[in-house]
Amino acid sequence: MKPRSTGCCHGSHVELPTLTAKLRKESLKITGPRQAILEAMRHHPHPLLIKELHALLAEGDCDLVTVYRSMKTLQKMGMVRRVEFGKGGSRFELVTDEGREHHHHLVCEACHAVMQLDDCLLLEVERRIEKASGFRSVTHRLEFFGICPACQKSSVPKP
């Protein structure tokens, strides 16, 4: 499980047409708000609070309520994933389906920086739990928390 920095505007983004195509395939309308939202999420690979996501949009692009409704819709069709850091509401991130499907995060409790961790190794644990408990379709939700290098030095973190 190697940490991997996921700052904005680094790697190859998903193309917007690729995303809207998925909407069309589900016969969902390609509206202004939805394009604005997807455009914003493309450039911000981290799990975003609804409030943060809304703040990224240009004034008047999309109502807060529409962001909520869009997350529900996009989640249902598998384009976004809900992530919970346990504070201040649900977060959402684009599903990039480039192989790095299921993954977890390492969050700094001081400045809230986020690193993405790849290679989850709990899948075999899930199988073991299924066998031992009789439960089926076992999944898991896992996040790591700690203090990032920057916040260790500067005892004045930037929350």
Give contact residues for DNA (rule: CB under 7 A).
Answer: 23-24, 27-34, 49-51, 61-66, 68-70, 72-73, 88-90
Q: Are 20 and 60 in contact (CB under 8 A)?
A: no
Shortest Cβ 82–DNA spacing (Å): 9
Given 17, 60, 99, 134, the residue binding a copy of itself (CB under 8 A): 134
> What's the rounded Cα separation, in Å, for the pair 68 and 54?
9
Antiparallel, parallel or unpaired: β 114-117 and 104-108: antiparallel
Q: Is residue 111 a contact point for a copy of itself (CB under 8 A)?
A: no
Site for Zn ion in 101-120 (CB under 5 A): 120
How far, CA to CA in Å, does 62 sit from each of 18, 38, 73?
21, 12, 15
Taking CB within 5 to 8 Å according to partner kind, which of Zn ion, Mn ion, a copy of itself, none is near residue 7? Answer: none
Candidate list 111, 117, 122, 129; residue touching Zn ion; CB under 5 A = 122
Binder of residue 121, out of a copy of itself, Mn ion, Zn ion, none (CB less than 5 to 8 A by kind):
a copy of itself
CA 18 → CA 7, 82, 103, 113, 140, distances in Å? 22, 21, 22, 28, 29
Tell me how many residues contact Zn ion (CB under 5 A).
Answer: 2
Residues 6+ apart with CB under 8 A from 6: 45, 46, 114, 115, 116
Cβ-based nearer residue to DNA, 31 or 96: 31
Question: Are the CB atoms for 49 and 36 separated by under 8 Å?
Answer: no
Is residue 145 near a copy of itself by the rule CB under 8 A? yes
Provide the binding-site residues for a copy of itself, judged by CB under 8 A. Answer: 1-3, 84, 86, 106, 108, 115, 117, 121-122, 125-126, 128-130, 132-149, 152
